[in-house]
Chain A
Amino acid sequence: MLSRTVLRNIFGASRGGFPCRAWNYSESVSNANHREKENLTGRDLEKHELRPLYMDFQATTPMDPRVLDAMLPYQVNYYGNPHSRTHAYGWESERAVEMARKQVADLIGADPREIVFTSGATESNNMSIKGVARFYKSRKKHVVTTQTEHKCVLDSCRALEAEGFDVTYLPVKSNGLVDLEQLEETIRPDTSLVSVMTVNNEIGVKQPVKEIGSGRVCRSKKVFFHTDAAQAVGKIPVNVNEWNVDLMSISGHKIYGPKGVGALYVRRRPRVRLDPLQSGGGQERGLRSGTVPTPLVVGLGAACEIAQQEMQYDHRRISMLADRLLGKIMAGIPDVVMNGDPEKRYPGCINISFAYVEGESLLMALKDVALSSGSACTSASLEPSYVLRAIGTDEDLAHSSIRFGVGRFTTEDEVDYTAEKCIQQVKRLREMSPLWEMVQEGIDLKSIKWTQH
């Protein structure tokens, strides 16, 4: 813990001297106090400044122009309520919504009637976890999930605990994958739901979803299986029937679609029943009341169809770019660790720890590249990521991690630029670090007893 304080003080003192264009500019117009504040809240770019390049495709993706093109007519002329049954405005919107439902269903190998549109993967996750647990609560009181799930899954489980449910948060192995045997042992006769995400949003590991859904673990024991596939759908082949998934969460803005829309797959045979979160007009099979937002849903449908067409092309290219980035960084600097399983992963999400460098300082130094140290939901806090802690990463390495996201619109030049800047800044920060100096002298940092204040 103390090593971190030391690092923070050293880097904190040197922050003013970064050779960053944006930085110098702000110095000329504002005083030091203002600058400190600005640093935390960010500011808009000036007209003549250059935009940083985008390497945070796990946080969100830019919308594909083809998606916007599909959406615009429904933002302009076709504004009918898809639930209006009495006029043409309603019919044309309904047709568009049903078309989108089919596009989403096709991407995951489902029936269109099994798709429920929601406001995003967070709502889908809330709906499935709280909905299933509450519906079956008279007989079943137990829910299983893992420690590396997304915040919204963990928080939904916390809410259930407050209602008197019993939740097991399974630990994961050091490669980030869940232990199947352990999962099997955890399931009890009163377990109603198992929730394990397909691709992790921070370290990119692919959980053995197919094995979990298989008869041995979930189906034969009549336990429902929910997977949060926000980071997987459209990027890797997904099939709800091959995987025996009962509920699946999908997000629009992770697949080059619009923000504010998502979907939930709810299996019809064997039927999964949920307690709806929202009461109202009974739209979407009564599971999600509220008018379906036609333009957003059309965008989600278009994004799914494009993702299906482009999956192979995108995957090949993203793998190539990710290898290129990783290769360059690994060749350029020593003591770099990649977090998560090296094989069972989605290549577009690369989480790397740079030993003896603090992640936040590195992010600050890499102002020209939009990166994050982990999930956007938790990026405001200085605490190390709970996902990295769950896979047993050392405290100091967890603090030095950065997540690189490669996507459909990333270019070779962007990858080269990022790698180059990253190598340069890590070297510079390490040169200033007393820890790095000690390591160079052959002192084992773990053997040092840092005195407490």
Chain B
Amino acid sequence: MAASSRSQVLSLYKLLMKESSKFPSYNYRTYALRRVRDAFKENKHVEDSKTVEVLLNKARDNLAVLQRQVSIGQMYATQKIVVEEHRGKKTI
């Protein structure tokens, strides 16, 4: 992987994780964090620059989805669920 795309991947990963952590809903938040992490892990060894570009575009689209959905989630936030109170710190 070229150095430029490497830094792009890393910054996109950070942005996605940061945005995911803003979901007020416990289940959406934990899912988004887990899914982003697993997707990047799964494609860690992709070398082909075309494939990397496709994946990067997919990640950018997903980042936009996350930003919109986090805003909507924040508008209609509800009470926390029981497991958050007990061990909320750990799951985030």
A-chain residues with CB within 8 Å of residue B30 when the two chains form the complex:
409, 411
* A65:B28 contact, CB within 8 angstroms: yes
Give the distance to chain A from B79, nearest Cβ to Cβ, in Å: 5
The answer to whether A326 has its CB under 8 Å from any CB of chain B is: no
A and B contact pairs by CB, cutoff 8 A, 19 listed: A45-B79, A50-B82, A50-B84, A51-B78, A52-B81, A52-B82, A53-B82, A54-B81, A65-B28, A65-B65, A65-B73, A66-B69, A69-B65, A368-B82, A408-B31, A411-B27, A411-B30, A411-B91, A417-B83
Using a CB–CB cutoff of 8 Å, the interface residues on chain A facing chain B are 45, 47-54, 62, 65-66, 68-69, 72, 313, 368, 408-411, 413-414, 417
Within 8 A of A (CB), among B48-92: 62, 65-66, 68-69, 72-73, 78-87, 90-91
A-chain residues with CB within 8 Å of residue B35 when the two chains form the complex:
313
Interface string of B20-36 (1 = CB under 8 A from A): 00000011101110010
Q: Which of A69, A313, A368, A411 contacts B68 (CB 8 A)?
A: A69
Report Cα–Cα, A6/B86, bound state, in Å: 36
Q: Would you list the 9 A-B pairs with minimal beta carbon distance, nearest first?
A: A409-B27, A65-B69, A51-B81, A413-B83, A50-B82, A69-B65, A368-B82, A51-B79, A409-B31
* A54:B27 contact, CB within 8 angstroms: yes
* A414:B83 contact, CB within 8 angstroms: yes
Knowing that A65-B73, A66-B69 are A-B contacts, what are 14 other residue pairs whose CB atoms are under 8 Å apart, sorted by A's residue number?
A50-B79, A50-B82, A53-B81, A53-B82, A53-B83, A62-B28, A65-B69, A66-B65, A69-B68, A72-B68, A313-B38, A408-B31, A410-B27, A413-B91
B-chain residues with CB within 8 Å of residue A50 when the two chains form the complex:
79-82, 84-85
A-chain residues with CB within 8 Å of residue B84 when the two chains form the complex:
50
Give the distance to chain A from B41, nearest Cβ to Cβ, in Å: 12
Report Cα–Cα, A69/B72, bound state, in Å: 10
A-chain residues with CB within 8 Å of residue B27 when the two chains form the complex:
54, 62, 409-411
Report Cα–Cα, A409/B28, bound state, in Å: 7
Report Cα–Cα, A408/B91, bound state, in Å: 16
Determine chain B's interface SS by DSSP, over half rule: helix
A-chain residues with CB within 8 Å of residue B32 when the two chains form the complex:
65
Shortest Cβ distance from B79 into A: residue: A51
* B79:A47 contact, CB within 8 angstroms: yes
A-chain residues with CB within 8 Å of residue B66 when the two chains form the complex:
65
B-chain residues with CB within 8 Å of residue A72 when the two chains form the complex:
68
B-chain residues with CB within 8 Å of residue A413 when the two chains form the complex:
83, 86-87, 90-91
A-chain residues with CB within 8 Å of residue B80 when the two chains form the complex:
50-51
Report Cα–Cα, A409/B33, bound state, in Å: 11
Shortest Cβ distance from A66 into B: residue: B65
Report Cα–Cα, A69/B68, bound state, in Å: 8
B-chain residues with CB within 8 Å of residue A69 when the two chains form the complex:
65, 68-69
Give the distance to chain B from A367, nearest Cβ to Cβ, in Å: 10
Give the distance to chain B from A129, nearest Cβ to Cβ, in Å: 36
Report Cα–Cα, A93/B79, bound state, in Å: 36
* A51:B72 contact, CB within 8 angstroms: no
Report Cα–Cα, A69/B81, bound state, in Å: 24
Report Cα–Cα, A413/B87, bound state, in Å: 8
Give the distance to chain B from A324, nearest Cβ to Cβ, in Å: 15
Give the distance to chain B from A371, nearest Cβ to Cβ, in Å: 13
* B86:A417 contact, CB within 8 angstroms: yes
Give the distance to chain B from A43, nearest Cβ to Cβ, in Å: 14
B27, B28, B72, B85, most chain A CB atoms within 10 A: B27
Shortest Cβ distance from A65 into B: residue: B69
A-chain residues with CB within 8 Å of residue B90 when the two chains form the complex:
413
A50, A52, A368, most chain B CB atoms within 10 A: A50
Report Cα–Cα, A47/B80, bound state, in Å: 10
